[in-house]
Each structure stands twice: as structure tokens, then as C-alpha cells.
A and B are shown apart, each in its own frame.
Chain A
Amino acid sequence: MQHLVIAPVLLPLLAGIALLLLRPLPIGWRRVLSLLAVLAQVWLALLLLGQAGDGGIFTYALGDWPAPYGIVLVADRLAAGMLLITALLGLLALLYASRGTDLEGRHFHVLFQLQLFGLNGAFLTGDLFNLFVFFEILLLASYGLLLHGGGPERTRAGLHFVVINLAGSTLFLFAVGTLYGVLGTLNMADLARRMAQVGPAELGLVQAAGLLLFGVFALKAALVPLYLWLPAAYAGTSAPVAALFAVMTKVGVYSIVRLDTLIFGAQAGDSAHLLGDWLLPLALLTLAIGMAGVVASTGLRQQAAYLVIASVGTLLIAAGLGTAGGLAAGLYYLPHTTFAAAALFLLADSIARRRGKLADRFAPDGTLSHPRLLGGLFFITAVLIAGLPPLSGFVAKFLILRAALPHPDLAWIMAVVLVTSLLALIALARSGSVLFYRARVVNPPAGGERLLPELAPAAALLLLCLGLVLWAGPVHEYTLRTAQQLHHPQIYIDAVLGREVAP
């Protein structure tokens, strides 16, 4: 049991190394191995979710060095939930990629496993510098995945993506260094504990470091004004990679939530709720600007990329409310938006393949085969994303707005969320009508396309969203408990540092 916490980190690392060494094997074997590794991760995440769901916080001291001296991995409800979302998304993206995307370049499966290694590590680590290391791992893997398949467009977007993330990493290290210089620790629980004892002389320094960290995480989460790298990168890369990247911005959101609730949480004395003043206005702006991008997009993949930005805005509005109810609503919205965005990226690829030279551009005189099936799936995805009843988007937005009712800035939140929902509806309805109604229906090429396996991953993602509606009660119950756990950082601190006194 004790080693279960480190298993989701080790498994993709070992699988990645194995896949690298097994390159001489035929591709079929490597696909099976890679898929089995991700399936095992889903299983591990479910086990961990079952354990952490009872409210326990499990720590794993690497090398058995006790907590503030060594590095710890910490599995609480939030981390377990994020692991499950990542593993499910990874499984379906990999299924889609195993139909041929993985042959467009080299080492796709290795990079994919290492990407999951970085993601899982970032969710589990309880140490700020270790978080930096896992960030670098997931970024380095993501650079490779982003460029997978090549082409000038990908290279150009990739260069921007890499350079801006390198600058972000530098800022991350400056913030980490400042925090270490003042507080003498990098363990997140220990940082949270010592934050309350910071004297007035060093308060400014600590808060500057905190806001610098927020800036770095905002860059990863693509918060306004640090979102400009995202649309070209996500729209240009291959579909399964874009689908997996739907969870990459959520790593930034996850880190912001940790920073906001743990390190600068309620117990942090003078620095408590440091991010509170920034989070909500920036989130509202992100939602508004992201949605403007959705309306102005000229292609379906670009539209999906802007929808990712808008979803980050919605997510951080929920987190920025500063209440457990708001955070719970946001955490319910998180899996919904991740799965829906990934499904849209996969569908956009299927549609683009059938439109010849037009690809995914919004031009009226296109051709399309299987318009009913593709259109039907697009319709469901659009209903999900726009937040129309009866699907999970509606439930999530309703929960967020309900949680916002007692907030003093209710008028702004209501206005922005509702107007942007309307804009999303208009933009998606327009895309759908251009892509499907005004398209000339052509017969599928002879020899038959294998439509079912191609659309199965996207359909499975939509089914997951359907599951979120059907089991909305238990899921929301879980996110509510997660939010309550996050809003009592003392539990986390005791769980991590408690090992100190244990024999």
C-alpha cells in the first residue's frame, strides 16, 4: 500500500525506458505495451482514488528521508483526481494515436510515456523544487510531442512554445531561490507552516516570490496576458497530442490552486490569500478574451485551442471565488472541460481529413463523407462545451454560478460567464453549419474507411462526460470534499510533517 503513491510516477518512466530499448520490435507490440502501461495507470489512479477518497493524505518519503529534509510525494484527493483524469485522457489519446499518428515521427510512445511521467510527478510531488523538475520533464516531452510529425507550422509554433517556457522556467527558479533564501525550505507543507512566521522585513520578498510563482503557473495555464503561445501550438500539432495537451494547462491551474490554498492559504498570516486579488479579475479577462478568440477563429482546431483558454478562465473563476463551494464547482468543471476539449480536437482531426485541401478551415463549399455521424458527435461536443442542458457543461456552469451567488462581484461574474456562454453557442453553431450543412456530401472512398475505430476514442471521451452527468451527485460530493480538504491546509501540513515525530 505504502508504495502505491510512487507507482504512478515509476510506471510511465519504466514503460518509457522499456519502449526506448524495445525499438527493434514491430510497432504493434510497442503499441500494445504502451497501451497496457497506460491502462495500468488508470488502474493505479483508481486504487489511489479509492484510498485517498476516504480523506487520508498519503505521503511517500523518497529514500526514507523524513519530511522537510527529503523529497516527499503526497497523494490527497486533488492529486488522485488529477491522476485519474490524466490517465483516462492519456489512454484515449494513445488509442487514437495508435491508428497511425505514432508512425509520423520517431519515439512517439517513449515521449508519450515520459509526458505522463512528468504530469503524474507534478501532481504528486510535495516539494517545490521537485515540482520544477517534473515541470521540466513534462515540458521536454511535450516539446518532442508537439514537433512530432514535423512541418514548418509546427516548427514555428514549437520554437515560440519552447522559448517562452524556458523563460518561464527561469522565473520559476528565481521564485524558488527567493523562497529558499528567506524561509530555508522548499517542502510545500513546511513552506506553508513557516509562511505565518515571516517577519515584516521579509514580507515583501516572500510575497514577490509568491506572485512570481503565480506568474509562472499562469503562463503554463495560459492565463491572460500570457496565453499567446497556446493557439498556434495547439492548433498546429497532431490531434492526439493536442488532446493530451488539454490537461497541460490544467497542470498550471492545479499548481495555482495548490499555491493559493496551501502555501498562501488561510494559515499564512500576513500573506494569506495573496492571490485572491489577482485571480478573479484575470480569470474573467481570460474567459472573455478566450471566447473572443473562439468567435474570431478561422478553423476548427484553432477554435478548440481558444476554447481551452476560455475553459481555463472559467476554471479559475471558480477557484478565485475563494470558497470551498466555488472550488468544488471548478473541480467538477475540470474533468468535463478536459474531456470535452480533447474530444473536440480528435473530432476536428477526423473532419479535417475528410475535407481535402480545405482541412478544418471554415469555408462553405467543402465536401464531407459521413456527415451525419460526424455532425452528430460534433453536436454533442458543442452542447457539452457551450454548457447547454442536459449535459455536464450545464451542470458545471450551474454549480459555478450558484457558488458565485454570495460573492460581492456577482454581477461581473454572471455577466461574463453568461455572455461568453452565448458567444460559445453562436460560434459553435456557426462552425457546425459551415462544416456540415453547407458541405457537399460525397461517398467515402472505395475500400471503406474504418470509421468506428477512428471515432471510438472521441466517443469514449463524450461518454465520460455523460458519466459525469449521470453520476453528478457522487462526483460533486467528491469534489466538495476535495475542496474542503484544500481549504483546511493544516490537515495537509500535519500529514506531511507528521512523519517527523514518528519513530
Chain B
Amino acid sequence: MEALVAVIIGVLTACGVYLSLRRRSFPVVLGITLLSYAVNLFLFAMGRLTIGRPAVIDAAAAGYTDPLPQALVLTAIVISFAMTAFVIMLALKARAELGDDRVDGNRPT
């Protein structure tokens, strides 16, 4: 399972980096979103991957999964959600005001 999660994080990061280096603003927004997915998965995996273990105290439990990364991921998801909404609005505003959706705002000559 570790290998699978690692590959997913790697692929998401690679796609995110590639897209966020593109010229138009829509792929950049998508790239940033993919990067935030990758980092959320990464944070989650940093608490070690376990299956079927409780996160809160339970008398019958044989072991626990680390609850802290889950809390961190929740915070990170909320923040990245807000940021994505903001950057989409800003990209639309830039498209309207600059008349172009290239991130540098200049048409290639």
C-alpha cells in the first residue's frame, strides 16, 4: 500500500508541477489544485498508513492510528479549498481586465 500511495503522490506532484508551469491561467489553477491534493495525501501518509485502527481511545483497540495528521489534513484541505476558489476568481478577473488568459498577460509576438 505504501508503494501505491507513494506513486500516487509522485504522479500528482509531477502533473501539478508541469501544469503550474504552463502559460495559460487555467492549467496553472489546475496544477496548483493537483499539488494541493498531492500534499494532502502526503501529510496523511506521514502519520503512517494503517488499516482498521481507531484514532480515538478505545478499550478494545490493539493499536491506534495517528490522529494528528488527519487533523492537519482537514485544516490544509479547508485552506487549499479557499485558496483555489480565490485564485479562480482572480484568474477570471485577470482574463476580463487584461483581455488575455496568459499568466504574463502578453500575446506572443
State the A residues within 8 Å of B (CB). Answer: 129, 133, 136, 140, 143, 147, 150-152, 155-156, 158-160, 162-163, 166-167, 169-170, 173-174, 176-178, 180-181, 186
Contacts and interface: CB of A to CB of B under 8 A. Distances in A.
B91 interface: yes
Given A173-B76, A181-B46, A163 B83 contact: no
Contacts of A167: 20, 32, 35
B45 to A, nearest CB: 8
A21 to B, nearest CB: 20
What are the 5 closest A-B residue pairs judged by CB atoms, nearest first?
A181-B46, A177-B43, A173-B39, A177-B46, A170-B35
Chain A interface secondary structure, helix, strand, loop or mixed?
A: helix
A471 to B, nearest CB: 41
Chain A CB within 10 Å, residue with most, of B47, B82, B90, B98: B90
A177 B39 contact: yes
A140 B83 contact: yes
Contacts, number: 85
Interface in B62-101: 68-69, 72, 75-76, 79-80, 82-83, 86-87, 90-91, 93-94, 97-98
Interface of B: 16, 20, 25, 28, 32, 35-36, 38-40, 42-43, 45-47, 68-69, 72, 75-76, 79-80, 82-83, 86-87, 90-91, 93-94, 97-98, 103, 105
Chain B CB within 10 Å, residue with most, of A155, A169, A177: A177
A170 B87 contact: no
Contacts of B80: 169
B90 A147 contact: yes
Contact of B86 (A140, A170, A176): A140
B98 A155 contact: yes
Chain A CB within 10 Å, residue with most, of B16, B25, B28, B42: B42
A215 to B, nearest CB: 15
Contacts of B76: 173
B90 A155 contact: yes
Contact of B87 (A133, A162, A186): A162
B82 to A, nearest CB: 7
A150 B94 CA distance: 10
A147 to B, nearest CB: 7
10 contacts: A129-B72, A143-B90, A155-B93, A156-B94, A156-B98, A162-B87, A166-B83, A167-B32, A176-B43, A180-B47
Given A170-B35, A170-B36, A180-B69, A162 B75 contact: no
A136 B103 CA distance: 22
A106 B91 CA distance: 19
